[in-house]
Structure 1
Amino acid sequence: MTSTSPILVTGGTGTLGGHVVPLLRAEGRDVRVLTRQKRPSVDGVEYVTADLLKDEGIEAALDGVETVLHLAGGAKGDDEATRNLVRAAQRAGVRYLVYISVIGTDTMPLAYFRSKLGAERAIAESGIPYTTLRAAQFHDLTLTVVSKMAKLPVVPCPGGLRFQPVDSREVASRLVELTLGDPAGLVPDLTGPKVYAMADLARGYLAARGRRRPMLPIRLPGKTGRAYRAGENLSLDRATVGSRTWEAFLSERVG
């Protein structure tokens, strides 16, 4: 969609937003970033203070905006925050919503995924043309998890847990493409090029750091364990596949 109005990016100061905002600027678009802390605006990027979860400052942030790229998310409350954003967007006459979600929203029996699904539904039922992209776990988050695990004397490795981590820069590039295009509803998932067991991810990190740790296989109980063992968090068919591997990411960030 072509427009001269600024694109509002929620979560524009996070990992994904840090890649998205420069890409939008490179396409000649002005960007308005919604943030909870005040920041000085810079060339082509305006920072506005608002809080989606508290429903504060959103309407002012949407003034003159036609396109919203919704990246903001947290451990909980994403559904409520998104409903607040959607209501304000409806009142403001927003013409296009783009949302980044996560693979497994409609299959994983965890509150985090249910919250994401609630956010997806709020956008889909808003009456505003939209695009939703579900992505796999970012390499960045995977690194945070395995680096913490690797500090333990023995690394716990839940059996049956598999992940297909994707590079956040590739997700950002796809989101910018979708944002500058036409609304497409729920588009194919975006995954990394390989599926890894948790133990493989940990071993790769330890090797990159030149460390060794014993590993302890453990079994996740209950519905969550069954869902992970069944691969409900994966997208093995009809997904768009990125090119950057976990090994390449580690080589850049750790090795």
Structure 2
Amino acid sequence: MKQLFGCAVLIALMLITAGYATADLADGLVVYFTFDNVKGKTIVDDSGNGLDADIIANTDIVDGKYGKAIRITAVGADCVNVPASDDLKITGEITMAAWINQDSWATDAQWFDKNCHNGGEHSSYGIGAFNGGKNFNMFLGTGNSRPTLSQPHGLDTKKWHHVVGTYDGDTMRVYVDGELAAEKAEKFDFKGTNDQDLRIGCSKDRPNYTFENGSIDEAAVWSRALSEDEIQAIASEGFLSVSPRDKVATTWGSVKRRIGVY
């Protein structure tokens, strides 16, 4: 029955892919990790852009929101590191998104960090939870300063949340579980152009900002601001097509994962 249902879903998706809200998620996609494709200490970049990540330390592969996820097991400046690349140098607009789950909000925690806590270098970006998990913060650099947006409503523990930070050149926004949580109109020249690695689950310059005992799944970065419709679609249904090389194959893999065909 699952196989028959899956085939029906695949046919429907092939018919509507061109017009579906998430059909263009490949546009501007810089890096995307399902954490389902791990080879030794290498986490394959599922965007097709070749920005594979290295498991350096303090990281386990565990069950996630969809398939597998990473879990950060101890405090440290190294965790999952995406090596520095010109592709990670983002300007003008950005989106950072992931599913996160934390046992307890005992400390500050960074989910994405491209060296955004280096006081002398502000060409950076990152998002995380601070003030004991009460605030969801997004940090962006201009080269001279670090504009910040904070969402003060807090996040429940032991529950998967979809968190997103965007900047479209005019307004910073953060979303939780598909809903706009905070926004701030602020026009600045965003420059995430430093030569540092992108860390997922920890911070290079602030080891105490480790997402200890927290899990991260479906982590992605875009060089554009996703729309609210796109964010809501991801939060409610996950990625339906992301690979610029083979959208239908990725869509079918996503469907199979959700309905348990394999």
TM-score tier (shorter): under 0.3
TM-score calculated relative to the size of structure 1:
0.27
Instruction: Please identify the structure whose Cα radius of gyration is greater.
Output: 1
More strand by share: 2
TM-score calculated relative to the size of structure 2:
0.27
More helix by share: 1
The structure with higher relative contact order (CA 8 Å, sep 6+) is 2
